[in-house]
Chain A
């Protein structure tokens, strides 16, 4: 397993946001985490990324325990995280945002190599290079945030609600990109509220409810689950 989360509990402002969550992500998989607002999906990703500290449990990445490490060290270990609000550097150019993604590499080849991959994935970013990040549309900002994350050459890419606040046409483009990213060898852990769309591209999934895993299985198993059909798909 590339990522192994065991019995993870995180409290956020005194309230337990996730409780005893266990989750696995294998190399080359797309794993979806679904659930309603406030189910703890974002907290789960934040805790793995080191932006939130856990109260109990372990996180093992590529054989190493990473819980409690500072965020920048987790990025350096090979986990790239795209938070819900994207956290771009708004007044820096698209080019500078991308270049900062490869900040931790010293060699020029290491820094340029992922750029070609990013432009192939999102050609429109190449036209926007000199523009400030804040001038991009919501969809383009999401593309830039994913691209900046890919510039760190991660083994695992974690996306938090990449479809949020984005024109429907671009949502498909983002989901297609996620598939392409996996095909290029990067494992993906994706949090989404759009259950049927994300399960269409995921191999497996977890459904959270009030901080706990309530359903887990292959994408098909989850889609066929009666509770899921009732709660999320309205059928």
Chain B
């Protein structure tokens, strides 16, 4: 393997890893906030991809510029999922954990079913656009433009999220709710409002990832599942609830995947990620950055 090829592999792994991180961070955020695993997270991403597809057909401007619109729409989807389903699941008097799992799992099944019905199971992709199918050469390393844009958008999103959490009052309210949701009423904060906004934010983040992925990926009703599976690995690896653990773990998963794609037979391509995951949870069950 020449050094150029090695760098090429690392660069593609890094870019894919940034997207994985962006997919996973919303999941981690919601888990950290209220100990609920959102099993419909992949379906949120699928909705974002279809939203991008629909908006491109409808408005006919480049998908890149439609991303803010898709993000806003997914914010509404996330907030609605909390207000319409999760909020009620959390009132369960017994088996709270199970009720939450089945509530979000049920939500996933419903969203997927409705997508099958409305959009048909056909694979779709976006019409030709600014980035789709193009590559750029940086010092001999070829990077597909959609992935490069996706990676940069992910970095920007994490920067924004970091500023939101550390510099704003709402960020402090989020942190306080993570620490003790039952105590925020003592300072006049409505925890339901924080939960609603948290779900909106979590869905908006995976929505951004979906909007970027839609540029060069097939869009179909089950598209969320493989990505959600990776997102669960990323969240468990990074530490449940840890936002920046998700970033580090996402990148790690992207790199491991890229390397194993080269050194392992293609049928075993995904094994690398799960081997890494098993190794980490055996040594450190709370994940790399978890503080549970």
Contact = CB atoms under 8 A, between A and B. Distances in A.
Given A100-B172, A103-B169, A103-B173, A89 B179 contact: yes
Given A87-B183, A89-B179, A91-B179, A104 B172 contact: no
Interface size class of A (residues with CB under 8 A): 20 to 34
A13 to B, nearest CB: 11
Contacts of A83: 186
Interface in B179-199: 179-180, 182-191
B131 interface: no
Q: Chain B contact residues: over half helix, strand or loop, or mixed?
A: helix
Contacts of A149: 186
Interface in A62-90: 70-72, 74-76, 80-83, 87-90
22 contacts: A49-B186, A70-B185, A72-B188, A72-B190, A72-B191, A75-B185, A75-B187, A80-B186, A81-B186, A87-B183, A88-B183, A89-B175, A89-B183, A92-B175, A96-B172, A100-B176, A103-B188, A103-B189, A104-B189, A148-B186, A151-B187, A152-B187
Given A99-B172, A103-B169, A103-B172, A87 B180 contact: yes
A205 interface: no
Contact of A70 (B173, B182, B187, B190): B190
Given A99-B172, A103-B172, A72 B179 contact: no
Interface in A99-114: 99-101, 103-104
A51 interface: yes
Interface string B145-181: 0000000000000000000000001001101100110
Interface of B: 169, 172-173, 175-176, 179-180, 182-191
Contacts of B184: 72, 100
A49 B184 CA distance: 12
B186 A71 contact: yes
A148 B172 contact: no
Contacts of A162: none
A96 B185 contact: no
Nearest to B185: A71
A50 interface: yes
A221 B175 CA distance: 47
B183 A72 contact: no
Nearest to B170: A103
Given A87-B182, A103-B169, A92 B176 contact: yes
Contacts of B191: 72
A97 to B, nearest CB: 8
B185 A50 contact: yes
Contacts of B169: 99, 103
Nearest to B169: A103
Given A89-B183, A96-B176, 11 more contacts: A72-B188, A72-B191, A87-B180, A87-B182, A90-B179, A99-B169, A99-B172, A100-B189, A101-B187, A104-B189, A151-B187
A50 B188 CA distance: 12
Contacts of B182: 87
B245 to A, nearest CB: 15
Contacts of A104: 187-189
Contact of B187 (A49, A90, A103): A103
A-B interface, 8 closest residue pairs, ranked by CB to CB distance from nearest: A71-B185, A87-B183, A104-B188, A75-B188, A72-B185, A89-B179, A76-B188, A72-B190
A75 B186 CA distance: 6
B58 to A, nearest CB: 39
